[in-house]
């Protein structure tokens, strides 16, 4: 009996002595976002939101519509190139789709508001429209979301009236 007891105590002591707090690995450098934006992106879904109807609490059919299939939006391709970790040039291949970047803009330079934490993309020549990066969540899976927000001044302050959400997939 004493034999088993001493064995048990020894094992417990060994387990307790072996327990050491885990060391957390270093977080490492933040993975740059801009290079992940490089590539050929094809428009896969377009959703239009009536912000005014949304503010007024109108029924959902008066707030949101999926308009992907009403124009040849899926023809639209956007080619983004980078130089190291910085944005460089872009090319639009609209096909039969409306050019969502801006009518007549087929190529140029693109930039972001913050290279480390980009939230807005500006395409040269597309002044007057703000295209926001909707989400980074899908970038590693080849998915990107743009948001284009149309505003109208109200009491001197810009107010969103129409928002487009463009979902892209990477080729």
Partner 1 sequence: MKRLLLPILFLTGVVAAYAQPKATVAPPSFTAEDEITITVDVTGTSLAGYTGDVWMWAWISEGCSANCDAPTNVNPAGGASTEKAKMTRVSANVYSITIVPSAFYAKPPSEIKKIGLKLKSADWGDGKQSDTDVLINVEPLVFTPKVNRIFPTKVTKDDVVTLYLDQTIATVPALKYELSNFKVTIRAYNEANAEIGKIENAATVNAGNGLHYIRIMPSFNFSSSEVRSIKYRFSSTGSNVQSDEFSLVFFQ
Contact 97, 73 (CB under 8 A): yes
Residue 31: strand, helix, or coil: coil
With 0-12 / 13-18 / 19 or more C-beta atoms within 10 angstroms meaning exposed / middle / buried, residue 78 is buried
Q: Return the residue of 11, 117, 154, 171 that touches partner 1, per CB under 8 A.
A: 154
Q: Which is nearer to partner 1, 59 or 84 (CB)?
A: 59
C-beta of residue 144 within 8 angstroms of C-beta of residue 133: yes
Q: Binding partner 1 by CB under 8 A: which of 53, 88, 105, 139?
A: 53
Binding of partner 1 by 72 (CB under 8 A): no
Check binding of 70 to partner 1 (CB under 8 A).
yes
Of 19 and 157, the one with the shorter C-beta distance to partner 1 is 157
CB of 109 to partner 1, least distance (A): 22
The verdict on 155 binding partner 1 (CB under 8 A) reads yes
Stretch that binds partner 1, among 28-36, 67-75, 81-89, 110-118 (CB under 8 A): 67-75
In whole angstroms, give the CA distance from residue 131 to residue 145: 10
Q: Is 149 in the site for partner 1 (CB under 8 A)?
A: no
Q: Which of residues 111-140 bind partner 1 (CB under 8 A)?
A: none
Q: First CA to last CA across the chain, in angstroms?
A: 71
CA 164: distance to chain centroid?
Answer: 14
Q: What is the H or E stretch that residue 159 is in?
A: strand 157-170
Between 65 and 89, whose beta carbon lies closer to partner 1?
A: 65
119 CB-near residues (< 8 Å, 6+ apart)? 112, 113, 132, 133
Residues that bind partner 1 (CB under 8 A): 48-59, 62, 65, 67, 70-71, 98, 103, 150, 152, 154-155, 157, 161-162
């Amino acid at each position: 009996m004493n034999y088993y007891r001493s064995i048990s105590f020894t094992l417990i002591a060994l387990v307790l002595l072996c327990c050491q707090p885990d060391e957390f690995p270093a977080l490492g450098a933040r993975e740059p976002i801009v290079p992940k934006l490089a590539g050929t992106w094809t428009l896969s879904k377009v959703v239009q939101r009536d912000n005014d109807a949304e503010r007024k609490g109108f029924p959902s059919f008066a707030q949101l519509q999926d308009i992907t299939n009403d124009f040849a939006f899926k023809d639209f391709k956007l080619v983004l190139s980078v130089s190291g970790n910085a944005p460089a040039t872009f090319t639009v291949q609209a096909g039969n789709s409306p050019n969502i970047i801006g009518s007549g803009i087929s190529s140029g330079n693109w930039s972001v508001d913050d290279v480390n934490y980009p939230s807005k993309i500006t395409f040269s020549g597309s002044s007057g429209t703000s295209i926001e990066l909707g989400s980074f969540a899908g970038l590693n899976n080849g998915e990107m979301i743009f948001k284009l927000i149309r505003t109208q001044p109200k009491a001197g302050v810009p107010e969103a009236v129409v928002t487009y959400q463009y979902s892209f997939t990477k080729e």
